[in-house]
């Protein structure tokens, strides 16, 4: 189940996949897919099932079907490293899109921008839209609310019996919303929220505000 929130009097939809949708701008925001990471692990002997490679594309297809965005903005680390077999899969996936795709470059995005431009994908270091700054790394910019990734935020929920549930989350502070990593096998950095921060945990099928 999605969760609707408001930031600076704009509506945003938080999706259990870790993506966010901005209806006013018709923008689908996705951070840290890390395509190619699974192939990289398999190449070096990790027992990651090959079926997991297609899961990122399946999830993105479901999001496009649900929201029908005009734009898809990847907030960095679309690819984990250099091009491998998953680049060919990405090219095939992109060829079937009607949406304009934008990539805000992350620290892992070492594939040449020329390869993206050849596909018609727009490549940026950061983007300003309305009163929002879209970036990969968390940034502070006066007068702008930052939408970003990079951190792979997570949250540990503790029960009365000392059990711990580790979940990915959207992490909102006063002038920033950090999106969770979208890709499989990406790991989490567990956040320590302060009093005014908000944690929107992803349980698998829904997004919930942690109180």
Count of domains for the chain? 1
3-state secondary structure of 154: strand
How many helices (H) and strands (E) in the chain?
4, 16
Q: Residue 45 CB: number of other CB atoms within 10 A? A: 7
> What digits encode the pLDDT tens for the residues 45-86?
554 556 667 889 999 999 999 999 999 999 999 997 766 678
Q: Which residue has the tokens 């600076």?
A: 8
For residue 16, is pLDDT > 50? yes
For residue 152, is pLDDT > 60? yes
Query: Beta strands of 23-140 (E only): which ranges?
Result: 27-30, 71-74, 100-104, 122-124, 127-129, 132-134
Q: Residue 167 CB: number of other CB atoms within 10 A? A: 20
Q: Which domain holds residue 138?
A: 3-210
pTM across the whole model = 0.92
In the chain, what percentage of residues exceed pLDDT 90?
A: 75
DSSP 166-192: EEEEEEEETTEEEPPP-STT---EE--
For residue 44, is pLDDT > 50? no
User: How does the average pLDDT of the chain come out, rounded?
Assistant: 90
Q: Which positions ≥6 away from 136 have C-beta within 8 Å?
A: 31, 75, 76, 77, 104, 105, 106, 107, 126, 148, 149, 150
Using CB atoms within 10 Å of the CB of residue 158, give its burial: 0 to 12 exposed, 13 to 18 middle, 19+ buried: exposed
Q: Which residue has the tokens 């567990």?
A: 190
Q: Strands 71-74 and 132-134: what pairing?
A: unpaired
Instruction: Give me the CATH number covering residue 46.
Output: 3.60.21
């Amino acid at each position: 189940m999605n969760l609707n929130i408001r930031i600076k009097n704009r509506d945003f939809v938080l999706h259990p996949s870790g993506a966010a949708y901005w209806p006013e701008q018709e923008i689908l925001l996705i951070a840290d897919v890390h395509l190619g990471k699974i192939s990289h692990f398999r190449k070096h002997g990790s027992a990651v099932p090959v079926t997991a490679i297609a899961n990122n594309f399946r999830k993105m297809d479901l999001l496009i079907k649900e929201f029908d965005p005009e734009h898809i903005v990847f907030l960095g680390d679309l690819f984990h490293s250099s091009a491998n077999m998953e680049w060919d899969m990405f090219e095939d996936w992109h060829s079937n899109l009607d949406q304009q795709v934008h990539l805000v470059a992350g620290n892992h995005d070492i594939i040449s921008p020329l390869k993206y431009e050849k596909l018609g994908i727009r490549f940026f270091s950061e983007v300003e839209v309305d009163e929002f700054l879209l970036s990969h790394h968390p940034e502070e910019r006066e007068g702008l609310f930052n939408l970003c990734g990079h951190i792979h935020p997570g949250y540990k929920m503790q029960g009365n019996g000392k059990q711990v549930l580790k979940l990915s989350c959207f992490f909102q502070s006063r002038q920033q919303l950090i999106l969770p990593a979208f890709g499989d096998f990406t790991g989490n950095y567990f956040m320590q929220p302060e009093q005014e921060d908000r944690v929107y945990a992803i349980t698998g099928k829904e997004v919930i505000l942690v109180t």
